[in-house]
Amino acid sequence: MDSTMRCARFAQQNGELELAVVPVPKITQTNQVKIKVYSCGVCHSDVLGKYGFPGISWPRIPGHEAVGRVLEVGSAVTRFKVGDKIGVGWFGGHCATCNPCLDNEWVCCQKGQVCGIHYDGGYAEQMIAPEDACALVPEELDFKHSGPLMCAGITVYNSIRQQDIKVGSLVCIQGIGGLGHLAIQFARKMGYEVVAFSGGADKRDLALKLGANHYIDGSQPDAIEQLTKLSPKLIVTTSPSAKAAESLLPALATCGKFLLLAAITDPMNINPLQLLLKKQSIVGFPSGDSRDSEDTLKFAAINNVQAMVEVFPLEKAAEALGKMLENRIRFRGVLSIVPEDQL
Amino acid sequence: MSMKCAVFPEKGGAIKITTVPIPEPKDGEVRIKVMACGVCHSDLLIQNGYSTSYPRIPGHEVAGIIDKIGKGVDNFKVGDKVGVGWFGGCCHEVNACDDDDWVCCAKGKACGSSYDGGYAEYCCAPHDALARIPEGMSFEKAGPLLCAGITVFNGIRNQHVKAGSLVCIQGIGGLGHLAIQFAKRLGYEVVAFSSGADKEALAIQLGAKHYIDGSQPDAIKRLTKMAPMMVVITGPSKKAVESLIPTIHVGGKLLLLAALPEPFSVDGTALLSKKVSIVGWPSGDSRDSQDTMKFSLNNGVEAMTETFPLEKAVEALQKMESGKVRFRAVLVMKQ
């Protein structure tokens, strides 16, 4: 086996993504799994690998929508064997002893590891991850399309399914991008009536094709009025804009939930009287752990939920990241670590 | 036949004592001989425009005895001891009502706002707004449970936070002093959070296990360390809401029960990373009122009241507004 591998990485904080040849990683703990990476999705939060995140160190290979096959397992690994098709998402491991872990909230582990932040991730030919961060991928899902399910997919699927909104209710998906285009599919397949809300008329046909029952062009002056009339029981915000979130809240139905999935960095102004009088909640939800990933992948396989991807060879990682940041990808960039025809 | 009452003569007008005809119950309504009526902060909303018409008799913590039944009322009779809270009846037809959300009915009525309320010797109300007062509970103690009590009890019990969890009650006033008691009796470990040290002894007596003086510089740090699963906001303070959200345990809630007059600022990433929710809850309907009174009687939860005769409604309102009442003013009618 080769002792070096190709990767794309951030050499130092604020550095540009660069191609590099580095030693292949080795298993150092008994609970680790070594993965031959076939593909890795490009996620907006990959840029945290560049700008920084608590606990990060450089150089750092990003990538938390990695899918591949098991090359080697540590002696304590029980859930996986060589050859298994597995994936790793944002959730990169937990401690099992802190209070959130004891409450079963692995994603909120106080010592939680993030793949591609605390250890090298999937923009590489091989990677190492702790067993608890890995999710088995159904064989019927191909490498080309399953990467995005490891972050974008689980983020929308896991959060929506946990809100206990009655089947058949009207759900609004705000934003049609990496998260939104999957959210529409998942929501429809989960049995909801879906209204897609996005700026512009250009995504209407696609939204309907993906499963939306209604489409509202957010750039129209009566957009909020239209949405209010439909009265969604759940509004899922997928685009990281405080203003967009604030503007949609008035349209929420009585007893409705406003689900925050995107990392909105500007503060939002919330009208307390509306929340109180209409018995509404604003809920923040952070993706999920590997168990939720397995549920997401299984649901996608059974119900034909598929990411719309644009494939880039690993060598074009910087270009893929740039295009994603400019919002020009329809709808998820995926790095092909192996030749694309092997995906 | 006429009765004494306290009324807001016009929007913005000061409350005044006057005499008006005794009202007659319409179809579906009953007339209550009012024995007591609590004074609630939201009565000031009525003064400032939140009323379908003027002059308007406020009062939505009404406790009394039915003295006349309107046509079409089968489930109540003269002599029944009943109360009416904010929920003043709904249409039972539109979507919210279909979903059993009477309080959120788009055509819902509020007692003392949509129609004349309990700052009077008699008050008429639709039968679905009535809550039976349990035997053994005085009218004076029942009144405050119909708005302050139900707001905290019904709000807290509907969040399904596991028994034994740490719950923080912010604000020790009309709502807060009841919230501490209810939270304790519902099986929670209670930390009371209020500005100043003067309410600590009382908070502990009411059932709080811990007390944090919010005016101290390390208050937020201390509460963050305790990491409450739920923070119940009873005092309408924007600063309290914004500073307390970060203290909440992973997966926890901020329960908003007080009507803040202005928007508050929320850090979306902080909510997301700790899976925290902000929940608004609007009191409850007459069925919840009955549950509130029954629970209170069974578990020794009682409002701390200060009584005023109806004629002193002006003073009662002023004292409530000044924050000096310990902790609920109640108008009691001469018998």
Nearest CA in chain B to A265: B269
Q: Residue A156: inside a domain, yes or no?
A: no
Judged by CB atoms closer than 8 Å, whether chains meet at A275 and B268 is answered as: no
- Across the interface, which of B96, B266, B275 has its CB nearest the CB of A285? B275
Block means of pLDDT (10 residues each) for chain A, 343 residues, are 92 97 97 98 95 96 98 98 98 95 94 97 98 98 98 97 95 95 97 95 96 97 97 94 90 95 87 93 95 98 97 98 94 96 91
Packed helices B286-299 and B176-185: angle between N→C axes, nearest 10 degrees: 70
Q: How confident is the model at residue B186 (pLDDT cuts 50, 70, 90)?
A: very high
- Among A261, A284, A307, the domain boundary falls at A284
Domain range spanning residue A129? 4-151+288-342
Q: Which CATH class is domain B159-280?
A: alpha beta
Q: Quote the pTM value.
A: 0.91
Nearest CA in chain B to A98: B250
Partner B contacted by A274 (CB < 8 A) = yes
If one counts every other C-beta atom within 10 angstroms of the C-beta of residue B172, the result is 28
Region B197-215: mean pLDDT is 97
- Structural domain spans, chain B: 2-146+283-332, 159-280
Judged by CB atoms closer than 8 Å, whether chains meet at B264 and A276 is answered as: no
For A147-164, the pLDDT digits (tens) are: 999 999 999 999 999 999
For B94-119, the pLDDT digits (tens) are: 777 777 889 988 889 999 999 999 99
Judged by CB atoms closer than 8 Å, whether chains meet at A286 and B103 is answered as: no
Q: Residue A296: inside a domain, yes or no?
A: yes
Q: Residue A158: inside a domain, yes or no?
A: no
pLDDT for residue A1: 59
pLDDT for residue B334: 83
For A301-336, the pLDDT digits (tens) are: 999 999 999 999 999 999 999 999 998 999 999 999
- Across the interface, which of A108, A264, A265 has its CB nearest the CB of B274? A108
Instruction: Enter the ipTM.
Output: 0.87
CB A147 within 8 A of CB A40: yes
pLDDT for residue B299: 96
What is the nearest CA distance from B94 to chain A, expressed in angstroms?
12
Judged by CB atoms closer than 8 Å, whether chains meet at B104 and A278 is answered as: yes
Give the containing element (helix H, strand E) for B183: helix B176-185
What is the nearest CA distance from B262 to chain A, expressed in angstroms?
7
Nearest CA in chain A to B237: A272
Judged by CB atoms closer than 8 Å, whether chains meet at A275 and B280 is answered as: yes
Judged by CB atoms closer than 8 Å, whether chains meet at B268 and A263 is answered as: yes
- Domain identity same for A301 and A280: no
Judged by CB atoms closer than 8 Å, whether chains meet at A284 and B270 is answered as: yes
- B2-146+283-332 domain in CATH 3.40.50.1000? no
Which of these, B136, B134, B84, lies nearest to B110 by C-alpha position? B84
Region B293-300: mean pLDDT is 96
A216, β-bridge pairs: A197
Give yes or no for residue B335 having a pLDDT over 80. Answer: no
At A194, which CATH number?
Answer: 3.40.50.720
- Among A284, A305, A327, the domain boundary falls at A284
CB contacts of A276 in chain B (<8 Å) are 256-257, 259, 280-282
- Domain identity same for A181 and A80: no
Main-chain phi, psi angles of A176, to 5 degrees: -120, 90
Nearest CA in chain A to B165: A103
For A190-225, give one letter per residue: b (16+ CB within 10 A) or e: bebbbbbbbbeeebbebbeebbbbbbbbbeeeebbe
- Domain identity same for A296 and A270: no
Count, residues in chain A: 343
Number of domains in chain A: 2
Partner B contacted by A54 (CB < 8 A) = no
Residues in B lying within 8 Å of A, measured between beta carbons? 95-96, 99, 101, 103-104, 227, 241, 249-251, 253, 256-257, 259-260, 262-282
